[in-house]
Structure 1
Amino acid sequence: MGSATHQTVAFARIRRGWWTAIAAVERRLEVERDQLALWLPVAVGGGIAAWFVLPDAWGWAAFLLLVAAIAMAGRCLPGTRLGLALTAGGLAAGLGCALVWASAERAAAPVLRRPVVASLLVRVDQVQPLAARDAVRVVATPIGAPAMPFRLRLTIAQADAPARLAAGDRLRLRARLVPPQAAPVPGAYDFARVAWFQRIGATGRAFAPVERVGLGAEGPGLRERLSGHIRAQLSGGEGAIAAALATGDQGAMPDPDAEAMRRSGLAHLLSVSGLHITAVVGFAMVLVLRLLALSPRLALRWPLLLIAAGAGAVAGIGYTLLTGAEVPTIRSCVAALLVLTALAIGRDALTLRLVAAGALIVLLLWPESLVGASFQLSFAAVTALIAFHERPAIKAFLARREEGGVARCGRILLGALLTGLVVELALAPIALFHFHRAGLYGALANIVAIPLTTFVIMPLEALALLFDVGGMGAPLWWAAGKALALLLWIAHTVAVAPGAVAMLPTMARGTFALMIGGGLWMVLWKSRLAWWGAIPLAAGTAIALATPVPDLLVTGDGRHAAVRDGGTVGLLRPRAGGYIRDLLAESAGLDGVPGLIDDLQGARCGPDACIAELVRGGRRWRIMATRSGYFLPFEPLVRACATVDIAISERRLPAACRPRWLKIDRTFLGKNGGVAITLATGRVETVAALAGAHPWARR
């Protein structure tokens, strides 16, 4: 009897403890009730992210069951904000996971299994000039070739491409086709994933001759003609930037200028995004508003702000269509339309609720865009900016007041600098995760570059195009060229400044999630609860900085490898292309040009193979790699394998080749893809392990 009474009392205490905790959470949520809706797109995004991170259908199904259980648990707390949050969050996360799963299955299309050389008749769907490479890139659909994938992405040399190539043209050509390339090494750009959702089943390069056998109905589009016209007025990097600002076409950007823009933190100016849409919409609104206000009758009797907002919406939509209606541009246009809607109904134009609504619309329509750097960078920037300016202390500091001109300018400049620093801090984890680098002086560069682009370059370019109708745009093009030259000078000056770029070659997805989750927690709550987000943010930062750099990188085809010894990176093959050279250098944490394994201390190389020695984790590691297409003598190869810890080859090594630890040959790479190895910890990370059993990785 006493035992039963004791258990009853214990259960009562537990229930009281639970209800006390729930009541405490309810009080917190009551304080933050206006912020709860902001977490809806976060929950949807969490479900999408879970689908990309979890390896297979069993994991996805388990996640859906888990969030369903969370939603049901919320129903057990009726009439509470916590119950509502659990139910809505669980359902939203499940919706996000289901949406991206369905989107991936809906995008299923044939994918090329192995490299082939084929003669094809194709219909051109998209044309992208690559003037900086003297080439044209087209997305095309094969005609009368049932064995071919649904869509192809082909590169054609400029000299071989038919004149005025346009969408709708039919071409007869011969090309070498390969499957869409997975990430060459862990953490690199995974084009196979992007190609899957675009239904591109093969990529390749066309051989001469390329014959046009049919013309499209429309010829070159407005975008192509406009880009060509702008580059005819301005040459070099100035013309390339001007074309990118007007049409989103970055194909003519010289490599040195593009690299300088990336290193200086100004690369966002080259892709059509919120800045460009805002400038176009704002310019259209101001122009229409000023013109209509010239008439006193219209100014007094007509809703000019509503009309101007409508004109801005039309301009934004037109600009989006002109620049190709890519997902990032559509996303920015949706956000701009939401802002215009808020203006039209008399609400605050820029709030986190509008940002959340825009993010939710994009995620529901294009759930796969969540894992792209473009989505993450743009929404992180605008969320950090608005959250920073909504803080009471910042509002009070930036509020207009009676003061002298010097004090006002100083306060405005300080506010701009603080805003730039906040945005740079928000973007740094994303840039480091996707690109392994982040510009340290981007805030300073953007203070000058953004106003220069928004208020000088783009208006000058718009006026020059307008005056070109009457053949009077030359003076304006000259002025725009000088402004663009100044922008390039800023980019190159900042790019070569000491310590301009911070490198972080590896960041685990869990570490990235800690940093993003902590950052969202800090900006989406308004009370002191927000400061709890500093804990996962600091933990993620510490883990990212403490993660060791890989000592050995091997690409998925086995042809290229990089060995890191201290601050030096040596490549296996002296004739590695620029893309592979830069990729391996960045993945190994080198901000510069890598050398060769031959130059590393303790390395012995010949024309057909290399052996390198590294001391890691208190032991000496020996690595052997073949570097030519010639077969090595069997017995010396077997003896060499027995003396090394790791053997690497693009070919299939014989079974008698038995290194002490790991054999990375064609068989291994065919199953696992590219490899990153940290010798001190014995960690082996592969592309296949990160990709799991997602549709684009099943091949």
Structure 2
Amino acid sequence: MRAALQEMLLAQRGGLITWVPVCLGIGIGTYFAQSTEPDFAQMVMVWGLAFGLLAASRLITPAYAPCAVAIALVCAGGGVAQWRTVAVAEPVLGFRYYGPIQGRVVNIDRSASDAPRLTLDQVVLSRMSPARTPARVRVSVHGDQYFTDYQPGETLILTGHLSPPSGPAEPGGFDFQRHSWFLGLGAVGYTRTPVLRLHAADQSSLGLQVFAVRMRLSHFVQKAIAGDAGAFAAAIMTGDRSAMRQDTLDDLRAANLAHLLAISGLHMGLLTGFIFAVMRYGLALSATISLRFQTKKIAAIGALIVGAFYLALSGGNVATERAFIMVAVMLVAVLLDRRALTLRAVAIAAIIVLLWQPEALMGPGFQMSFSATAALVAVFGALRKFDLSHWPKWLRGTFAVFMSSFVAGLATAPFAAAHFNQIAHFGLVANLLSVPLMGVLVMPAAVLAICLAPFGLSGIGFALMGWGLRWILWVAQTVSGWDGSVGHVVAPGGGVVALLALGLLWCILWRGRARLIGVAPVIIAFWLWGQATRPLLLVADNAALIGVIGPQGRALSKGSGSSFVAQIWLENDGAPVPQQEAANRSGYTRDGRIVRANIGDWQILQVTGKTALAALDGCGGADVLISNQSDVTGRPCIVFDINRLRQTGALAFDLTEMGDLQLTTAQGVAGNRPWNANADASTQPEIVLKNP
């Protein structure tokens, strides 16, 4: 058995680099899953173990040496994640602020409610020292604005509301505080008052200069192509989605075409591939050049430069970074006369992204991007064993498009469902009708428009690009309108996505029959997902909304307000409906500003407003009182007022088999980490209240 094990481990030689990002990812994921931040002594032990195992790997049997290196990489992954957490640390607002705000524009996008959203740095807040002032804040601009032409680098002044980044909408949900921490956002908010320009644009830094070029190009494209097609064109050329309407985004997601918006492998590959082909065949037209120089390598260098410019222009999200690294590895392989497209290239891209931004591992962009790429490389690598040369050329091209759309859609579907709670049933059809056009018309037309712009003829390229994008938008709108186009799934429990990813990676990366072992964790992950249950009652962290499971689904305590939280709850239930419809369901007893809900033998009372709370006698017969006001009155029940909820975060209530009330707090699950330092460190993840 020992000999068989050694033979199996030695068979992995030659492909061990593909396991490096897997081991780093395990360490990074383990770090983020902790409920407390590792202290200095613990991190010294982790790094000491990593270096010790690396040294020991040279002294043990070659078959087992990679196992020691793997454990060292797991330790290194946790260490890198902790270093990154400390490196990006900035002040976080610790209270709700209303007053003047001054800052420099460093990003412009659009909120979920279609409002312009500004990210500001060099922030100045009233009566707040620079040491306590957040480095960046993000403000949504509501109301009628006379000034809407925001420019990168200009300093704005406004009066607005700011608050700390909110915690998860429910215990175990998406942690916006952690997400904001790594974006450098110390506060988020909104304004309904006019936004004024204090100073003209300051574009002294290279980053702001690139941002300014990006926005000028975006505006140029939107003027050349009207409507949603122009916003689409700006998104794929510059990464600026600020003009994309929410309805259009919903149609693209429902048709599984939202990936066309992200500047990812498809766009980077099409652009650099087009440049590579044009340069190579263009140079081949000259006999002198083609006989004296290696035109293939010259074309590779040209495509690499264009790809780097595209990366800088796009803003550099995870998918774009991964795409550029993949393309760079491929083009460098051409320069070195090596095979370009392999799982090693995917692994190198993943290693660089994880070392540069370890927090990216937890986001859907990283997971979907790398799952699609790894699956495509693995499947098309396996297809090389089959001789398709006797097939007609058109049939081979059609088969390649079909397989790429099918494999990428299948690989990303579980992760998309886990993060967005929906599955596009007709995504394959939409992709087959759209992706080929993106390659043969849209991206070449974009390059043509840029090349013709100095001569004032960019309209030719933009006209062709507009035709292609209008077709894609029509496909998205049509497919999303079909009956049953979108299926909804319940949110998976903790650990399901990690188990699923590790099983799939084992199936792809392991060499030999033992790769079938990876099927087991995949099956277990889907089984656990199928057994997932939802909390019987949820309470928002501002006490303004509660939602209880009833015979018709989750019933909400009100039909408007706290819409973002309501949407998340309903989507995680796998049954999204309009908030007003959920509010009309049975499950509550309402009496003005007092809402009663029952869970088994337990009664929960929600009271909103000072007057209603002051008029309440004791707890009104309830076991648990929820209030959006500060309550210092001693009451004969468990009270969660606004002050306590700011410490505990959102609440989830369930019943145990004995009829006890099980209470779970969002901050208790999230733990005591740097990004939620304002929360109560003593908050317990779960509290069980005994049924009397």
Tell me the TM-score normalized by structure 2. 0.88
Q: How does 1:239-254 map to 2 (within 5 A)?
A: 239-254=230-245
Question: Is 1:140 equivalent to 2:121 in the alignment?
Answer: yes
Structure 1: 5+ residue runs without aligned partners?
A: 1-19
1:49 match = 29
Question: Is 1:117 equivalent to 2:105 in the alignment?
Answer: no
Q: Secondary structure at the match of 1:57?
A: coil
Q: Secondary structure at the match of 1:172?
A: strand
2:628 match = 650
Deviation at 1:663, TM superposition (A): 4.7
Structure 2: 5+ residue runs without aligned partners?
A: 204-208, 679-692
For 1:559 and 1:327, locate their aligned partners in 2 and report how far apart those are by CA, in whole Å.
35
For 1:196 and 1:635, locate their aligned partners in 2 and report how far apart those are by CA, in whole Å.
40
Question: Is 1:336 equivalent to 2:327 in the alignment?
Answer: yes
Question: Is 1:326 equivalent to 2:317 in the alignment?
Answer: yes
For 1:77 and 1:420, locate their aligned partners in 2 and report how far apart those are by CA, in whole Å.
44
User: How far does the alpha carbon of each residue in 1:39-60 deviate from its partner, in whole angstroms, 9 at most, with x for none?
Assistant: 1111111111111001113599
1:624 match = 605
Contact 1:604–1:611 (8 Å) recurs in 2: yes
Deviation at 1:448, TM superposition (A): 2.5
Letter in 2 for 1:676: A
1:37 match = 17
Q: Secondary structure at the match of 2:322?
A: helix
Letter in 2 for 1:297: T
User: How far does the alpha carbon of each residue in 1:49-76 deviate from its partner, in whole angstroms, 9 at most, with x for none?
Assistant: 1110011135997698579669867838
2:475 match = 490
Q: Identify the match of residue 373 of structure 1 among 361, 364, 371.
A: 364
Q: Which moved more, 1:195-204 or 1:419-428?
A: 419-428
User: How far does the alpha carbon of each residue in 1:401-455 deviate from its partner, in whole angstroms, 9 at most, with x for none?
Assistant: 224x4xx655654554344333233222322332222323323322232222222
Q: Identify the match of residue 389 of structure 2 among 376, 389, 401.
A: 401
Q: Which moved more, 1:309-318 or 1:563-572?
A: 563-572
Question: Is 1:427 equivalent to 2:412 in the alignment?
Answer: yes
For 1:54 and 1:164, locate their aligned partners in 2 and report how far apart those are by CA, in whole Å.
44
Question: Is 1:104 equivalent to 2:85 in the alignment?
Answer: yes
Deviation at 1:311, TM superposition (A): 0.5
Deviation at 1:551, TM superposition (A): 2.5
User: How far does the alpha carbon of each residue in 1:591-641 deviate from its partner, in whole angstroms, 9 at most, with x for none?
Assistant: 332445663335322331222346xxxx56544323555424555452331
User: How far does the alpha carbon of each residue in 1:175-199 deviate from its partner, in whole angstroms, 9 at most, with x for none?
Assistant: 2211122222234433221221232
1:458 match = 443
User: Structure 2 vs 1, CA of residues 630 and 308 (structure 1 numbering), >3 Å: closer, same or farther?
Assistant: farther
For 1:208 and 1:595, locate their aligned partners in 2 and report how far apart those are by CA, in whole Å.
29
2:76 match = 95
User: How far does the alpha carbon of each residue in 1:149-173 deviate from its partner, in whole angstroms, 9 at most, with x for none?
Assistant: 2222223358547564333322333
Contact 2:330–2:345 (8 Å) recurs in 1: yes
Letter in 2 for 1:30: L
User: Structure 2 vs 1, CA of residues 631 and 42 (structure 1 numbering), >3 Å: closer, same or farther?
Assistant: same
Q: Secondary structure at the match of 1:212?
A: strand
Q: How does 1:50-199 map to 2 (within 5 A)?
A: 50-58=30-38, 65=45, 75=56, 78-128=59-109, 133=114, 135-143=116-124, 145-146=129-130, 147-157=132-142, 160=145, 162=147, 164-199=149-184
User: Structure 2 vs 1, CA of residues 84 and 142 (structure 1 numbering), >3 Å: closer, same or farther?
Assistant: same
Contact 2:627–2:641 (8 Å) recurs in 1: yes
Deviation at 1:259, TM superposition (A): 0.7
For 1:566 and 1:66, locate their aligned partners in 2 and report how far apart those are by CA, in whole Å.
50
User: Structure 2 vs 1, CA of residues 149 and 421 (structure 1 numbering), >3 Å: closer, same or farther?
Assistant: same
For 2:545 and 2:529, locate their aligned partners in 1 and report how far apart those are by CA, in whole Å.
26
Question: Is 1:232 equivalent to 2:210 in the alignment?
Answer: no
Contact 1:188–1:434 (8 Å) recurs in 2: no
2:681 match = none
For 2:44 and 2:654, locate their aligned partners in 1 and report how far apart those are by CA, in whole Å.
35
For 1:607 and 1:265, locate their aligned partners in 2 and report how far apart those are by CA, in whole Å.
43
Q: Identify the match of residue 671 of structure 1 among 647, 661, 666.
A: 647
User: Structure 2 vs 1, CA of residues 598 and 202 (structure 1 numbering), >3 Å: closer, same or farther?
Assistant: closer
Q: Secondary structure at the match of 2:508?
A: helix
For 1:521 and 1:96, locate their aligned partners in 2 and report how far apart those are by CA, in whole Å.
19
User: Structure 2 vs 1, CA of residues 501 and 268 (structure 1 numbering), >3 Å: closer, same or farther?
Assistant: same
RMSD of aligned alpha carbons: 3.0
1:503 match = 488
1:691 match = 670
Q: Secondary structure at the match of 1:168?
A: coil
Contact 2:545–2:562 (8 Å) recurs in 1: no
User: Structure 2 vs 1, CA of residues 443 and 383 (structure 1 numbering), >3 Å: closer, same or farther?
Assistant: same
Q: Secondary structure at the match of 2:620?
A: helix
Deviation at 1:137, TM superposition (A): 1.4
For 2:535 and 2:340, locate their aligned partners in 1 and report how far apart those are by CA, in whole Å.
47
Deviation at 1:115, TM superposition (A): 0.8
For 2:140 and 2:593, locate their aligned partners in 1 and report how far apart those are by CA, in whole Å.
32
Deviation at 1:490, TM superposition (A): 1.8
User: How far does the alpha carbon of each residue in 1:62-100 deviate from its partner, in whole angstroms, 9 at most, with x for none?
Assistant: 698579669867838944244312221122111111111
1:299 match = 290
Q: Secondary structure at the match of 2:619?
A: helix
Letter in 2 for 1:698: A
Deviation at 1:481, TM superposition (A): 2.5
For 1:158 and 1:227, locate their aligned partners in 2 and report how far apart those are by CA, in whole Å.
24
User: Structure 2 vs 1, CA of residues 414 and 678 (structure 1 numbering), >3 Å: closer, same or farther?
Assistant: farther
Deviation at 1:33, TM superposition (A): 1.8
For 2:101 and 2:644, locate their aligned partners in 1 and report how far apart those are by CA, in whole Å.
34
Contact 2:613–2:627 (8 Å) recurs in 1: no
User: Structure 2 vs 1, CA of residues 427 and 284 (structure 1 numbering), >3 Å: closer, same or farther?
Assistant: same
2:273 match = 282
For 1:206 and 1:374, locate their aligned partners in 2 and report how far apart those are by CA, in whole Å.
30
Contact 1:339–1:350 (8 Å) recurs in 2: yes
Deviation at 1:34, TM superposition (A): 2.2
Q: How does 1:244-643 map to 2 (within 5 A)?
A: 244-391=235-382, 394-397=383-386, 399-403=387-391, 405=392, 409=394, 413-414=398-399, 416-474=401-459, 476-576=461-561, 578-595=563-580, 599-613=584-598, 619=600, 622-628=603-609, 630-632=611-613, 634=615, 636=617, 638-642=619-623
User: Structure 2 vs 1, CA of residues 677 and 463 (structure 1 numbering), >3 Å: closer, same or farther?
Assistant: farther
For 1:637 and 1:414, locate their aligned partners in 2 and report how far apart those are by CA, in whole Å.
71
1:12 match = none
Letter in 1 for 2:651: V
Tell me the TM-score normalized by structure 1. 0.87
Contact 1:135–1:155 (8 Å) recurs in 2: yes
Larger radius of gyration, structure 1 or 2?
1
Contact 1:572–1:627 (8 Å) recurs in 2: no
User: Structure 2 vs 1, CA of residues 470 and 134 (structure 1 numbering), >3 Å: closer, same or farther?
Assistant: farther
For 1:513 and 1:467, locate their aligned partners in 2 and report how far apart those are by CA, in whole Å.
48
Letter in 2 for 1:142: V
Q: Secondary structure at the match of 2:495?
A: helix
User: How far does the alpha carbon of each residue in 1:238-272 deviate from its partner, in whole angstroms, 9 at most, with x for none?
Assistant: 12111101111111111111011112211111121
For 1:647 and 1:204, locate their aligned partners in 2 and report how far apart those are by CA, in whole Å.
28
For 2:45 and 2:494, locate their aligned partners in 1 and report how far apart those are by CA, in whole Å.
23
Contact 2:53–2:71 (8 Å) recurs in 1: no
Letter in 1 for 2:290: A
- What count of residue pairs does the alignment treat as equivalent? 664
Deviation at 1:348, TM superposition (A): 1.3
Deviation at 1:224, TM superposition (A): 0.9
2:684 match = none
For 2:58 and 2:133, locate their aligned partners in 1 and report how far apart those are by CA, in whole Å.
55
Q: Secondary structure at the match of 1:252?
A: coil
Contact 1:558–1:650 (8 Å) recurs in 2: yes
For 1:412 and 1:462, locate their aligned partners in 2 and report how far apart those are by CA, in whole Å.
23
Contact 1:77–1:83 (8 Å) recurs in 2: no
Contact 2:231–2:241 (8 Å) recurs in 1: yes
